[in-house]
Structure 1
Amino acid sequence: MLAFFKDPRAVALLLAASLTILSNTIISPALPGLQASFPDNPNAELMTRLLVTAPSLLVAFFAPFAGMVADRFGRRRQILVGALLFSLAGCAGTLLPSLETILISRLFLGLSVALVMTGQAALIGDYFDGEARGKFMGLQIAVVNFSGFAFIALSGFLAGMSPRLPFLIYALGAIIFPYLWFTVKDPVAKASTGPEVAGENSGSTGWVLTLMVIVTLSALSFVVFYVVPTQIPFYLATIGFDSASAPAQVLAMVTLAGGATALAFGRIHARLGHGLTPACGFLLMACGFGLLDWVHSMALIDLGALFIGAGFGLTMPTFFAVALDAAPAQHRGLVSGAITTSIFLGQFISPIFSMPMVGAFGYEGTFGVAAIMLVVTAVVVYLFFQRQGRSTVPA
C-alpha cells in the first residue's frame, strides 16, 4: 500500500476520489441553520433537504455521458474541468442569496462529481493492471471513508459558527488543482505496474453482462447501505437515544470499519477471490442489520454498525476491480460512468425504498428485511463472480 504514495499518479487519483465524499453529506450539519436562515421561504424545510440529494440525482443522470466523453476526449481534461467546477459550484453556497440559487449550484456540483468520478475511475484502469488495481481500489475506499470522517467533523465545527461556512470546504477542488495539472496524464500507451497480459486491452468476453450485473448489485448495495444514515437517527430517537451524538457515533463506526476493511482489501481479495470476497461482505452487512433488528443497547448497535461498514468495505472495491478487469480499455470511461450512476441512483432511491418499509414493518422489521435481502444477494454474488476465477493479488 505504501508504494502507491510514492507514485504521483496514484496520489492524484486518491485526491480526486476524496472530492466525491464531499458532494452530499458535507453540508448535513448545516441544514438546520440553513433552514432557519430563510424564515420567509415557505418551502425551506423541503428545499434544505433537497440540497443534500440533488447532487446524487445529477450524478446518476450525467455519469454515463461523462464516461463516454472521457473515452472520446481524454480523462485528464475531464478531471481538471470537474475539479474547478466542483470548487466554484460548491463554494457558491457561501454567498448565494436564496435557497433556490443554492439548489441550482448543487445541481452543478453533481455535474462536477460525475466528471471527476468517471475520469478518475477510468484512469485507475489505465494506470494499473489487475494485480495492482485490486489493491488500489481497496486503498481508495479506505481514503474516501477516512477523509469523509474528517470532513464531516470539520463541517460540524464550521456549522457551529455559521451555516454558510461548511460550503468553503469545497475549495479543496481548487487547492488540489495544480497537483492534478502536473501529475494526471492521459497515457499514450497502456501504463502497467506489472507484466503485460496478452489481450487485456480487448477485455473479456461477456463483459457487457458482467457490467450489467455489477451495476445492479452496486445500486442494490447503496439502496440497502443508505438505510443506515437515513433511518438510524430516527430509530435511535424512538428507543431513547435522542442525543445528536448517538447517530454520529453509529455513522462513525460504519465509516471507520469500512476504511479499515478496505485497507486490508488486497490481502483479503487475494485469499477469497472475486466471488467469495463480496459474498462475505454482504454476509457481514446482513449480520449488522440482523443485530439492529434484535438489540437495543448502544454497544451492540455500534457492533452492528461495525459489521455493516466492514462488509461494505469488501463489496464496492470488488465490483470496480472486476468491471475494470473485464472491460476493454477503450470503454473504461463508459464502465466507470455506469457504476457511478448506479451508486448515486441507489443513494437517491434508498429513502424511497425504506420509508414505506418502516411504515409497514417498523424500523426493526425494515432492518430484518434488509438482512434477508443481503443474505440472498451474497449467494447470487458468489455464484456469478466465482467463475471469474480467484484473484492474483499477492498477500
Structure 2
Amino acid sequence: MTMMNDGSTAAALGHNENAKACVVVAGPALVALIPMAAAPALPAMAVQFAAEGDGALFAQLVMTIPAVMVILAAPLMGYLAERIGRRLVLLSCLFLFSLSGACVMLLSDPWLLIGSRLLLGVAGGGLLTISFALAGDFQGHLRERVLGFAGAGAALMAIVAMVAGGHLVDLLGWRGPFVLYLLGLPVVLLGWFVVARHRAVERIFNDVRFPIHSLWPLYLLTIILTIGLFMPGIQGPFLLEADGVESATTRGLVLSAYSLVAAIAAGSFGYLRRRLEPRAVLVLTALALGIGCLVMATAHSVFGLILGCVITGIGAGLVEPITVSMILSRAPEPVRARAVGLLLSAVFLGQFLNPLAVGPLRTLYSIHGAFFGVGLIFVGLAIMLWLVKRKRADSSVPVPSNSEL
C-alpha cells in the first residue's frame, strides 16, 4: 500500500498537542462568525441598501448566502486536502476567511459585497472540514473532548458575536461587526507553527477503496437532526411573537439560553462519551430536541419558553460533536477530510431545509402546531434509535462498523 503523510497524523502531535487542539477549536468558532457577526448589522444594512430595492431582503441574503457555498465547498476542500495536504488548505482558508470577511468594511457596491460573502462561504467550508479532519489525529476520549470544546467554542462565539456586534454597530455603523473576521489572522499564525508542513512521501488515494457512500445513513440522520437543531434559532422568534413576547431584549434573553446551554452540552461531550456509547448519545440528542420543542409549543410563558430552549439546547450542543466523532471513527485517515466535508454539507443543508420542512406545518397548524409536530417527530426518532440500538446489542451477528449509524 502507498502512503501519504501530511504531517498531521497522531505521531506528529508531540509537544504541540494543546496548540493543535486550539486550532481545531478555533475553526468552528470562526465559522460561527459567518452569519452571527452580520446579524446585528441587518437593520442598519437594510436602510443602507434600501435604494437598491428590498433592503431587508438584501441584508438577509448577505447573512445567509455563505451557507450555500459552505455546502458546496466543504466536500471539495476535503478532496483537495487529500491531494495537497491539510496544512496548505487550512492556512489558505484562514487567510481567505479574514480577507473576504473584513473587506466588507471597504465595499459599497452590493454585488462586490455578495461576492465577498460567497468567498467567505468557501473559506468557511474549508476551515470547518480541515479543523474536524485534524481532530481525527487525536485518539480516544481526547478526540471527543476536543470535538466537544469545538462545539462549545462555536456556540459561545455566536453569543459573543451578537453582543460585540451590536456594540460595533453603535460605534461604527453597519460595517462595524465585520471587523470581527480579522480574528482569523492570529489563527493563521498559530496554524503556521503547529500544523506540520505537508510531505508527499507516498500517496494512498489509488489504493484506498473505502466506500464513503456507506456513510449515507449517518449523513441523512445529520440532516434530520440539524433541522431540529435550528428550530429555536429560525422558528423561535415567530413563536415568541405569537406568545406575545414583544420586547427584543426579552426575545434575545430567551434565545440566548438556548445558545448557552448548547455550549455547555457540547463542552460536556467528552464526559458523556466516557459513560455512554455513541448510539446512546444519539438517542439523548434526538430526545432532547423533541422534548424541548414540545415544551416550547405548549409553554405560553417566558419561563416555559426558556425551559424549552434549555432542553433543546442540550440536544443542539451534541449534534455536531457526536456526528463528527462517528464519522472520524469510521472513515480511514486518507479519506477522512472528504468524509467530514460531506458531513458538514449535511449540517448546512439541514439548516437550509428547516424553513422548507417546517413551513407546511406552520401553514396548516400555526407556529405552535409546527413546534408540537416537530417535537413528536423527534421523540419518535429517539424511540426508533433506541430500538435499533437494542436490536443490534441483542444480535449475535457482528455488524461492520462502517454500516452503523
TM-score by length of 1: 0.88
Counterpart contact for 1:53–1:348, Cα < 8 Å? no
For residues 111 and 295 of structure 1, do their structure 2 counterparts lie closer, same or farther at Cα, with a shift above 3 Å needed?
Answer: same
Moved more, 63-72 or 231-240: 231-240
Separation in 1 of the partners of 2:197 and 2:154?
23
Instruction: Provide the residue aligned with 1:301 in structure 2.
Output: 305
Moved more, 5-14 or 349-358: 5-14
Separation in 2 of the partners of 1:137 and 1:173?
19
1:137 paired with 2:109, answer: no
3-state SS, counterpart of residue 300 of structure 2: coil
State how 1:1-395 maps to structure 2 within 5 Å: 7-125=18-136, 127-161=137-171, 162-185=173-196, 208-209=213-214, 211-383=215-387, 387=392
Counterpart contact for 1:277–1:318, Cα < 8 Å? yes
Separation in 2 of the partners of 1:123 and 1:237?
42
**Which amino acid counterpart does residue 36 of structure 2 have in structure 1?**
T
Counterpart contact for 1:26–1:151, Cα < 8 Å? yes
For residues 188 and 130 of structure 1, do their structure 2 counterparts lie closer, same or farther at Cα, with a shift above 3 Å needed?
Answer: farther
For residues 47 and 13 of structure 1, do their structure 2 counterparts lie closer, same or farther at Cα, with a shift above 3 Å needed?
Answer: same
Give the gaps of 5 or more residues in structure 1: 190-201, 390-395
**Which amino acid counterpart does residue 335 of structure 1 have in structure 2?**
A
Which 4+ stretches in 1 moved above 6 angstroms? 202-207
Counterpart contact for 1:207–1:326, Cα < 8 Å? no
Moved more, 151-160 or 49-58: 151-160
For residues 154 and 184 of structure 1, do their structure 2 counterparts lie closer, same or farther at Cα, with a shift above 3 Å needed?
Answer: same
Separation in 2 of the partners of 1:217 and 1:38?
39
3-state SS, counterpart of residue 240 of structure 1: coil
Separation in 1 of the partners of 2:387 and 2:113?
46
Separation in 1 of the partners of 2:386 and 2:197?
35
For residues 300 and 5 of structure 1, do their structure 2 counterparts lie closer, same or farther at Cα, with a shift above 3 Å needed?
Answer: farther
For residues 367 and 7 of structure 1, do their structure 2 counterparts lie closer, same or farther at Cα, with a shift above 3 Å needed?
Answer: same
Instruction: Provide the residue aligned with 2:204 in structure 1.
Output: none
For residues 6 and 349 of structure 1, do their structure 2 counterparts lie closer, same or farther at Cα, with a shift above 3 Å needed?
Answer: same
Separation in 2 of the partners of 1:87 and 1:261?
29
- Post-superposition shift, 1:57? 0.6
Give the gaps of 5 or more residues in structure 2: 1-14, 201-206, 394-398, 400-405
Separation in 2 of the partners of 1:205 and 1:39?
52
3-state SS, counterpart of residue 40 of structure 1: helix
Separation in 2 of the partners of 1:384 and 1:245?
43
Instruction: Provide the residue aligned with 1:196 in structure 2.
Output: none
TM-score by length of 2: 0.86
Percent identical across equivalent pairs? 27
**Which amino acid counterpart does residue 299 of structure 2 have in structure 1?**
V
- Post-superposition shift, 1:98? 2.7
* Alignment length (residue pairs): 373
**Which amino acid counterpart does residue 149 of structure 1 have in structure 2?**
I
Counterpart contact for 2:87–2:198, Cα < 8 Å? no
**Which amino acid counterpart does residue 64 of structure 2 have in structure 1?**
T
Separation in 2 of the partners of 1:233 and 1:98?
31
- Post-superposition shift, 1:60? 0.4
**Which amino acid counterpart does residue 224 of structure 1 have in structure 2?**
G
Instruction: Provide the residue aligned with 2:203 in structure 1.
Output: none
**Which amino acid counterpart does residue 289 of structure 1 have in structure 2?**
C
CA displacement, residues 59-117 of structure 1 (integer Å, 9 cap, x when unaligned): 10121111111112111111100011111111122121132221111111000001111
3-state SS, counterpart of residue 22 of structure 1: helix
CA displacement, residues 334-377 of structure 1 (integer Å, 9 cap, x when unaligned): 11100110111111221222223212211110001111121122
Counterpart contact for 1:262–1:313, Cα < 8 Å? yes
Moved more, 333-342 or 176-185: 176-185
Counterpart contact for 2:227–2:350, Cα < 8 Å? yes
Instruction: Provide the residue aligned with 1:193 in structure 2.
Output: none
For residues 235 and 317 of structure 1, do their structure 2 counterparts lie closer, same or farther at Cα, with a shift above 3 Å needed?
Answer: same
CA displacement, residues 177-200 of structure 1 (integer Å, 9 cap, x when unaligned): 1111111226879xxxxxxxxxxx
